[in-house]
DNA sequence: TATTGTTATACTCTATAACTATA
DNA sequence: TATAGTTATAGAGTATAACAATA
């Protein structure tokens, strides 16, 4: 096996991980009646607190129209509410309902549990090395995308 | 920073990588007028050779209907053709056009280049450790999903 | 004038169900 | 009877463009 093949295989592992993780998360989200995109919005909302749709569109890097649709769906299914913005009458503030806040919390808790599942039994040295390598990779992709 | 937080952060790195890679690949594919799903089909076709739609549906784990749509689109844009199956008159064989074969080849070549970009300057010890850790993680997710 | 969010329209991916042709 | 693929229908995510209300 050449050096190039070994690196190609390593990238293959990463791509496989992407596929597996995406599937696993989608299944998990479906249990709450949620999709990837809606969870992404919920995640952002949990980290930013009540936000205008404009802020969410910028954070998720999607169109304003798209946010309208996602918020419509999340309002209809009881995860968030639209409230008038206190000072800007053009804008709306998206906030969690009780149900939405509870789901956001359990998503965060389950992410920690999942991290424990993945890394809990990994030797410290391997974990440290993995984190360093991963950081380097993320860094390199970031630079590549700036071009 | 607690141990749990460090593991959570490491999972965060993985999830960030998923987002970055997905975006980077989508941009790359758009240059050829392709989408993720269509590239996925092309990739499978490159590895299996001319295939029935049924075989592609099983490989991609999507519905037969979905394959009809993807093949329609790839035929319309000149990447693949539908040929009659030599022995089963119900089935069609999907094969590359010249354009499709060329794109498949350049995708494979570029994947190797990308692997080189990610790992080319990484010290051998770190690369080896990364591959081991990654294998362990993929293995663990696989087991988790079987439940 | 610029910005926020909506309506109008359209494309892609995805699914299930009913159906045709063939095995 | 079972299988390969299509038509019919539907829902989700995404985008651009035109528009209303407000800043």
Q: What is the pLDDT of residue A1?
A: 77
Q: What is the pLDDT of residue A50?
A: 98
Average pLDDT over chain B, rounded to whole? 95
Q: What is the pLDDT of residue A146?
A: 81
Q: Are the C-beta atoms of B11 and A17 separated by less than 8 Å?
A: no
Q: Tell whether the model's pLDDT for residue B147 goes beyond 80.
A: no
> Inter-chain contact B119–A11, Cβ cutoff 8 Å?
yes
**Residue among A15, A18, A133 whose CB faces B126 most closely:** A133
Question: Residue B135 — pLDDT band, cuts 50, 70, 90?
Answer: very high
Does residue B91 approach strand D to less than 7 Å at its CB? Answer: yes
- Pick the more confident residue, B144 or B35: B35
Predicted TM-score (pTM) of this structure:
0.93
pLDDT tens readout for residues B101-132? 999 999 999 999 999 999 999 999 999 999 99
**Residue among A17, A112, A141 whose CB faces B134 most closely:** A17
With a CB cutoff of 8 Å and minimum separation 6, the contacts of A61 are none
Flag residues of chain A having pLDDT under 50. none
Spanning CA of A65 to C1' of C18, the rounded length in angstroms is: 35
Backbone angles phi, psi at B7, to 5 degrees: -70, -40
Does residue A65 approach strand D to less than 7 Å at its CB? Answer: yes
Spanning CA of B71 to C1' of C12, the rounded length in angstroms is: 13
Alpha-carbon distance of A43 to A51, in angstroms, equals: 12
Alpha-carbon distance of A76 to A53, in angstroms, equals: 16
Q: Tell whether the model's pLDDT for residue B1 goes beyond 90.
A: no
- Give ∠ CA B105-A141-B119 in degrees, rounded to 5: 70
Q: What is the pLDDT of residue B50?
A: 98
């Amino acid at each position: 096996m050449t050096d190039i093949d070994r690196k190609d295989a390593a990238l293959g592992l990463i791509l496989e991980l992407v596929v597996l993780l995406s599937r696993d998360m989608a299944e998990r989200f479906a249990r709450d009646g949620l999709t990837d995109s809606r969870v992404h919005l919920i995640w952002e909302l949990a980290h930013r607190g009540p936000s205008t749709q404009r802020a969410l569109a910028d954070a998720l890097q999607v169109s304003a129209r798209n946010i309208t649709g996602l918020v419509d769906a999340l309002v209809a299914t009881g995860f968030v509410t639209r409230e008038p913005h206190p000072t800007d009458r053009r804008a709306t503030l998206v906030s969690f309902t009780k149900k939405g806040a509870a789901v956001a919390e359990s998503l965060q808790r389950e992410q920690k549990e999942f991290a424990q599942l993945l890394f809990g039994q990994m030797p410290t040295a391997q974990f440290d090395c993995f984190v360093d390598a991963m950081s380097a990779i993320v860094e390199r992709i970031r630079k590549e995308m700036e071009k």
